[in-house]
Amino acid sequence: MPNAPSTMASGGIDPIRYVENRVVLIDQTRIPETTTYLEIDRCEQMADAIKTMVVRGAPAIGVAAAYGMYLGAREINTETREDFFAQLEEIAAQLRQTRPTAVNLFWAIDRQLQVARTATVPLAEIPALLLESAKTIQTEDVETCRAIGDNGLIALPSQPEKLTILTHCNAGALATAGYGTALGVIRSAWREGRLNRVFADETRPRLQGAKLTAWECVQEGIPVTVITDGMAAHCMKQGLIDVAIVGADRIAANGDAANKIGTYGLAVVAKAHNVPFFVAAPFSTVDFKLTTGSEIPIEERDSAEIYQVGETRICTPGAEFYNPAFDVTPAELIAGIITERGLIKPEDLSRFSP
Ligand code: MRU
């Protein structure tokens, strides 16, 4: 029996909105305790929001950076073209330094630079073009996610009729302009009556699964069970999981996919238990310049994310820490990449290179 689709354009949760000359972000560091919003009207604030993960998730930080380019451009005060573009490059550099792994960030910044460079309007009108372009990137992302969600339906095993889908981190509406990638497939499966429930890895250390994915599911009445990351193998062995679907931050031309730390381990245990493992991502996440996943830069974050939970220190002083935020899943562990252009085998991805 199909479930009622959400009546809201983006699946009900809009992490980024442009309202009265400002960008309004849901503060993702405070969910689920409270839903608060941060108003951003300067590029520096946007860079800070990306760095501190107020806005996070590959497509979402791309959209945020696109708006950041506009916010920076509208403050440029110069008469000369040369000076304008020198300052715009500085704004781009500031945004590029925020987070290294998700390629959508760089993709969106480059797209905005291209809009500005190819503009045939007076300098004073370029910021307005960048605003329109940021809005377009945002709208396109929601449409792309909806297409990914629906394309994912063909990837789903035909049996059982109602599937239990395991996901890692948050690849939902919050991580995109709305609807989500991996969670987009889950939303479409729910709408079509093909979903039994979601198993959400809690996703140490930032807990995006426990905090964000579970919150999104509960908002829409999608049944969700949260497990710690180390429980996934056991759940698969118990036959509790029919399919695993995750998002991605950057995919190399050979289909190797970087995603939140723990994804690689999940893919290995999925293989060991014959659970199909899919990556759902838009083409803006594919970096055709990289031949393999070993070239993907992996962000390392503050050790406090490991030794501290909330305000409480959980580990003895004297220990050392290593905190890579992402890992790379080799293409051979991925059954298919669910994109806005359909389901693609990792080995076929390079055929789509522009
Ligand atoms: O560090 P984060 O929270 O930005 O990491 C996010 C992820 O790893 C997501 O799975 C990925 O960006 C895909 S989002 C559609």
Question: Distance between CA atoms of 79 and 320, rounded to whole angstroms?
Answer: 52
% of the chain exceeding 70 in pLDDT:
97
- Give per-residue pLDDT as tens, 37-80: 999 999 999 999 999 999 999 999 999 999 999 999 999 999 99
**What would the mean pLDDT of 195-220 be, rounded to a whole number?**
98
Q: Residue 10 above 90 pLDDT?
A: no
**What would the mean pLDDT of 163-191 be, rounded to a whole number?**
98
Please report, for residues 56, 156, 184, the alpha-carbon distance to residue 244 in angstroms, rounded to integers and kept in the order given.
22, 10, 13
pLDDT for 1 equals: 41
Query: Which atom of ligand 1 is closest in space to residue 181's alpha carbon?
Result: 15
pLDDT for 310 equals: 87
Q: Residue 8 above 80 pLDDT?
A: no
Is 102 a pocket residue for ligand 1 (Cβ < 6 Å)? yes
- Give per-residue pLDDT as tens, 111-160: 999 999 999 999 999 999 999 999 999 999 999 999 999 999 999 999 99
**What would the mean pLDDT of 213-234 be, rounded to a whole number?**
98
| Catalytic residue status for 27 | no
% of the chain exceeding 90 in pLDDT:
96
Give residue 119 CA to ligand 1 midpoint distance, Å: 33
Question: Distance between CA atoms of 238 and 4, rounded to whole angstroms?
Answer: 31
Give residue 327 CA to ligand 1 midpoint distance, Å: 11
Is 248 a pocket residue for ligand 1 (Cβ < 6 Å)? yes
Concatenated DSSP letters of 15-68: SEEEETTEEEEE-TTSTTT---EEEE-SHHHHHHHHHTTSS-SHHHHHHHHHHH
- Give per-residue pLDDT as tens, 11-46: 479 999 999 999 999 999 999 999 999 999 999 999
Residue 315 CB neighbours (<10 A): 12
Start-to-end C-alpha separation, the chain: 41
Rounded to two decimals, what is the model's pTM? 0.96
Backbone angles phi, psi at 16, to 5 degrees: -135, 125
The residue whose C-alpha atom lies closest to atom 5 belonging to ligand 1 is: 57
Contact between 338 and 151 under an 8 Å Cβ cutoff? The reply is yes
Would you say how long the chain is, in residues? 354
Question: Distance between CA atoms of 145 and 326, rounded to whole angstroms?
Answer: 22
E strand spans, the chain: 16-19, 22-26, 37-40, 163-167, 195-201, 224-227, 243-246, 250-252, 257-260, 277-280, 286-287, 308-309, 312-313, 326-329, 336-339, 342-344
Peptide bond into 100 cis (omega under 30): no
List, in order of start, the domains of the chain with CATH numbers.
16-142 (1.20.120.420), 155-352 (3.40.50.10470)
pLDDT for 5 equals: 40
Query: Probe ligand 1: pick from 141, 260, 284, 305, max atoms within 8 Å of CB?
Result: 260
What is the rounded average pLDDT for all residues in the chain? 96
CB neighbour list of residue 290: distance below 8 Å, 6 or more residues apart: 250, 252, 253, 296
Is 11 a pocket residue for ligand 1 (Cβ < 6 Å)? no
Question: Distance between CA atoms of 141 and 171, rounded to whole angstroms?
Answer: 13
| Segment holding 255, helix H or strand E | none
Question: Which of these is catalytic: 201, 249, 256, 287?
Answer: 249
Question: Distance between CA atoms of 218 and 266, rounded to whole angstroms?
Answer: 24
Sign of the alpha-carbon torsion through 167, 169, 170, 175: negative
Give residue 247 CA to ligand 1 midpoint distance, Å: 7
Is 59 a pocket residue for ligand 1 (Cβ < 6 Å)? yes
Is 171 a pocket residue for ligand 1 (Cβ < 6 Å)? yes
Give residue 261 CA to ligand 1 midpoint distance, Å: 10
User: pLDDT class for 181, splitting at 50, 70, 90?
Assistant: very high
Backbone angles phi, psi at 66, to 5 degrees: -60, -45
- Give per-residue pLDDT as tens, 279-301: 999 999 999 999 999 999 999 99
Q: How many CA atoms lie within 13 A of 214 on its CB side?
A: 17
Question: Distance between CA atoms of 183 and 13, rounded to whole angstroms?
Answer: 12
